[in-house]
């Protein structure tokens, strides 16, 4: 696979819920070995886009190609190489962290997966005690980390992550940022991750996709974005997003 090979191509994605247009003729292109920061205010369409690419919205209009595959059956097979963490962790509340990850491994045909054990060790999940009541009693950070690790089990070629860094403690943030960097820079994984705050992706994203009102305003590399921000005298990605939308922003990010 070429280092710049496109692993996801979407054209004309459109999704309406009644009178509301969640996605409005969206085009995106995701390449191998890149981390794309998906930036937008609440209601911009970020989660809907991630859900459409993951196949959670089968009625979405438009064309999607994943790993060279199109068509319902071929896309279903291609999505076996996609790890997703969207909306909430795809976990069982009644099971512990460890049992949730074991179940995920079993579902992927990797009952004794060394990768699962490696990730659990790295994210310190073995020290996160949630008791006999299972994940239901865990903190938001523990649930987030469990969802992130579950998405990475099975060595997916593509990761679709909905605000994965939100709610993590310092240890979780360090582990996640380090792992994401290794995945795209060393293993060639393509990562599309939305952010609660654009600053979460500083020095992590190689590219950005800006959305508002269900539309993609711009897809741009981090290097090109840095040049534009310098020309405009802007200091943060949040300020740049505000310049695209006309919204007010603070130093931390888009509001």
Q: Is residue 113 part of a domain?
A: no
Total of domains in the chain: 1
Q: What's the pLDDT at 30? A: 97
Q: How far apart are CA 40 and CA 253, in angstroms?
A: 10
Q: pLDDT digit string (tens) for 37-90? A: 999 998 899 999 999 999 998 778 999 999 999 988 999 999 999 999 887 655
Q: What is the pLDDT of residue 253?
A: 44
pLDDT: which is higher, 82 or 128: 82
Residue 177: which CATH number?
3.40.50.300
* Within a domain: 213: yes
Torsion of CA 224, 246, 42, 231, to 10 degrees: 20
Indicate the pLDDT class of residue 177, thresholds 50, 70 and 90: very high
pLDDT tens digit sequence for 91-114: 666 676 777 777 777 676 666 667
Please report which confidence band the pLDDT of residue 255 belongs to, taking 50, 70 and 90 as the band edges.
very low
Q: Average pLDDT, stretch 231-244?
A: 95
For residue 61, is it within any domain?
Answer: yes
Does 134 map to a domain?
no
Q: What is the per-residue pLDDT for 161? A: 95
What pLDDT does 25 receive? 95
What's the pLDDT at 128?
55
The pLDDT, as a whole number, for residue 221 is: 97
Whole-number Å distance between alpha carbons of 31 and 92: 32
Kindly state whether residue 209 falls inside one of the protein's structural domains: yes
Q: What was the pLDDT predicted at 124?
A: 66
**pLDDT given at position 12:** 96
Please give the average per-residue pLDDT across 206-221, as a whole number.
Answer: 96
Is residue 154 within 8 A of residue 108, CB to CB? The reply is yes
Q: Would you say residue 1 lies in a domain?
A: no
Q: What are the tens digits of pLDDT across the range 130-166?
A: 444 566 677 777 888 888 888 888 889 999 999 999 8
Residue 224 within any structural domain of the chain:
yes
Q: Identify the domain containing residue 229 by its residue range.
A: 6-88+155-245
Whether 231 shows a pLDDT value over 90: the answer reads yes
**Could you give the percent of the chain with pLDDT greater than 90?**
52
Predicted confidence band of residue 16 (pLDDT cuts 50, 70, 90): very high
What pLDDT is attached to residue 23?
A: 96
Output the average pLDDT for the chain.
85
**106 within a domain of the structure (yes/no):** no
């Amino acid at each position: 696979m070429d280092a710049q090979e496109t692993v996801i191509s979407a054209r004309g994605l459109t999704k309406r819920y009644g009178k509301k247009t969640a996605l409005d003729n969206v085009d995106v292109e995701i390449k191998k070995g890149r981390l794309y920061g998906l930036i937008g205010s609440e209601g911009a369409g970020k989660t809907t886009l991630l859900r459409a690419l993951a196949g959670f919205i089968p009625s979405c209009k438009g064309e999607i190609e994943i790993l060279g595959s199109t068509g319902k059956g071929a896309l279903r097979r291609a999505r076996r190489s996609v790890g997703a963490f969207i909306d909430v962790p795809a976990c069982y509340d009644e099971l512990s962290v460890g049992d949730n990850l074991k179940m995920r491994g079993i579902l992927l045909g990797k009952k004794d997966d060394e990768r699962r054990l490696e990730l659990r060790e790295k994210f310190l999940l073995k020290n996160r005690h949630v008791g006999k009541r299972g994940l239901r009693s865990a903190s938001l950070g523990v649930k987030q980390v469990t969802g992130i690790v579950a998405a990475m089990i099975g060595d997916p070629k593509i990761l679709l992550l909905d605000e994965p860094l939100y709610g993590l403690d310092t240890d979780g943030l360090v582990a996640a940022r380090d792992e994401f960097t290794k995945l795209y820079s060393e293993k060639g994984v393509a990562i599309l991750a939305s952010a609660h705050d654009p600053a979460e992706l500083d020095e992590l994203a190689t590219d950005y996709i800006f959305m508002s009102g269900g539309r993609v305003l711009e897809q741009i590399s981090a290097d090109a974005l840095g040049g534009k921000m310098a020309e405009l005298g802007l200091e943060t990605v949040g300020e740049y997003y505000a310049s695209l939308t006309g919204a007010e922003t603070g130093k931390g990010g888009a509001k």
